[in-house]
Structure 1
Amino acid sequence: MVVVAVATVPSAAPPQDPTIAPRARQAADILPGIPVVAQRPSRPDYRRAAFGAAWTDAVAVAGGANGCDTRNDILARDLTDTRTAAVASCPRAVTAGEFRSPYTGEFVVFRRGGRAGSVQIDHIVPLAFAWDMGAWAWTPTKRMDLANDPANLVAVDASSNLAKSDLEPGRWMPPNRGFHCHYAIQFVAVVATYGLELDDHSRQVLSRTLRRCAS
């Protein structure tokens, strides 16, 4: 497995973030080494269950085995003005908070219960895409790590997450262009770290984005 230095995913890109250009250059250097196929294959045998129980804490990636499920780890990382309470899956579960969805820039308020569905945790590299591009052949442990790796997760508004579905960068990028640099950097980092392939159209989109972000 190729290990790539990745940053945590911020909820919104600060103006003129000084880390963007060097991180984009690093990702652009990594991109040519990622295997490319002409088109994304379609494997009808994808199952979410192949990536383990949703948001399990029993993983070896950052945040694993810390006593909290992955969803609460990401809510705690990405939301501000949070309140917490103990639940079965986490002694410090986020019960309320707010943030700007990086995919749209929309201000979102989270409340456990009635408003919980307004915030979803997205896999930057979608699990179905990962399955098609090589994860079908992985061990269950490696698939669980990808599904719960904080480098591949970000809290977003529900509508943009549903619009994205399992689409790759060649068919979907965040509506908020201000987040394109972060999105492309993380997508490349995760794909390279886990040894996945890319379809050619997505490679072209990511390459153009990274060149712009690196300048």
Structure 2
Amino acid sequence: MNLVRSSGSALLALALALGLSGCDVDLGLGSASASEDSTGADVQDANDGPLATKVLDTLSVKGRAASTGYSREEFGSAWKDVDQNGCDQRNDVLKRDLTGEKFRDGTKECVVISGTLEDRYTGETIEFSKERASEIQIDHVVALQNAWVTGAFQWTEEKRTEFANDPLNLLAADGPANSSKGAGDAATWLPSNKSFRCDYVARQIAVKSKYGNWVTSGEKKAISGILESCPEQKVPTSGAVPAPEGDAPADKNADAESDNGDAETPGAFCSSEGEKAKDSDGDTLTCSTKGDDDRARWRSAG
């Protein structure tokens, strides 16, 4: 497995060098190595690629294409057994992301029927059971519809199916949080758990770089804003995921902001329109859009 990760890192480094010189790049990581990581990778080595800021700069910046023709079926049926281990990708991801999981008898440890998720999106602990399966969903980190409008409409069905089942692009997540995200990109939705935002956007960068998707100008600006607090953040090169606690990059402004608690900065991007917060002076801010700026930001009432 270390050999797989080392090879992936080398390929990403090569892709980065080519991308900075203006060439089209194909990371060439393939689904096989990612699928291996979906069932047994060391999560502590999840982010082992080049700097996220560098890879972000290799992505093309364009406007969204039309959603015409998009449907979930364009990305193949859900869920595939892409690594041919006898388990579909949904259950592989549950097995990867949950702890204390139990399996249905006679399924070769495939069908997860219970377990505990330390949810990266909300920071909450969620107990999973088949009777309450909707409480934990498998999120496409780069949403399928977002992928469609940033290049996937041009792909073959085979490539779209690989994208939809790639562990690099899959995370078990709180169901309501995943539903609120919809097809949003980083300019319109971010996890409420701020300690995971650097890992989250780094994974989006990795996915888009691997498959050749572009980003919008607003999306790139939002991602860059997140990475300002974690300039050493690296992109993942496999389907491994970072540990949910104690693994987030330190905020370089944490000490300066400690007296302000959870104060927000006017003009900074936010994730849930209508949400309220306070700035460092104690004034109320609202998460909202305004005029031609369709990106949700913290704005003062005045």
TM-score of the two chains, using structure 2 as the length reference: 0.61
Q: Which has the higher contact order (CA 8 A, sep 6+)?
A: 1
In the alignment, the residues of structure 2 paired with residue 101 and residue 56 of structure 1 have an alpha-carbon distance, to the nearest angstrom, of 24
Superposed, which structure 2 residues align to 1:1-215 within 5 Å?
2-3=26-27, 26-37=51-62, 39-57=63-81, 59=82, 64-86=83-105, 92-112=110-130, 114-214=131-231
1:29-77 per-residue CA deviation (whole Å, 9 max, x = no partner) reads 111111101x3233221010010011111x3xxxx21111000000000
Specify the SS of the correspondent of 2:104.
Answer: strand
Measure how far apart 1:158 and its partner are: 0.6
In the alignment, the residues of structure 1 paired with residue 54 and residue 110 of structure 2 have an alpha-carbon distance, to the nearest angstrom, of 39
1:53-112 per-residue CA deviation (whole Å, 9 max, x = no partner) reads 11111x3xxxx2111100000000000011012577x75211100112111111111111
Q: What amino acid sits opposite 2:56 in the alignment? A: L
State whether residues 93 and 170 of structure 2, in contact with CA within 8 Å, keep that contact through their aligned partners in structure 1: yes
Q: Which runs of 4+ in 1 moved over 2 A?
A: 4-9, 17-20, 39-42
Q: Which moved more, 1:185-194 or 1:91-100?
A: 91-100
Q: Which runs of 5+ in 1 are unaligned?
A: none
Q: Which moved more, 1:96-105 or 1:73-82?
A: 96-105
State whether residues 130 and 196 of structure 1, in contact with CA within 8 Å, keep that contact through their aligned partners in structure 2: yes
State whether residues 28 and 211 of structure 1, in contact with CA within 8 Å, keep that contact through their aligned partners in structure 2: no
In the alignment, the residues of structure 2 paired with residue 31 and residue 135 of structure 1 have an alpha-carbon distance, to the nearest angstrom, of 18
Identity %: 36
In the alignment, the residues of structure 2 paired with residue 40 and residue 213 of structure 1 have an alpha-carbon distance, to the nearest angstrom, of 27
Q: 1:131 to 1:18 in 2, by over 3 A?
A: closer
Measure how far apart 1:26 and its partner are: 1.5
In the alignment, the residues of structure 1 paired with residue 86 and residue 45 of structure 2 have an alpha-carbon distance, to the nearest angstrom, of 34
State whether residues 28 and 210 of structure 1, in contact with CA within 8 Å, keep that contact through their aligned partners in structure 2: yes
Measure how far apart 1:145 and its partner are: 0.6
Aligned to 2:254: none
In the alignment, the residues of structure 2 paired with residue 83 and residue 18 of structure 1 have an alpha-carbon distance, to the nearest angstrom, of 25
1:125-156 per-residue CA deviation (whole Å, 9 max, x = no partner) reads 00000001110110111001100000000000
State whether residues 74 and 155 of structure 1, in contact with CA within 8 Å, keep that contact through their aligned partners in structure 2: yes
Q: What amino acid sits opposite 1:53 in the alignment? A: S
Provide the alpha-carbon RMSD of the alignment.
2.5
State the structure with more CA Rg. 2
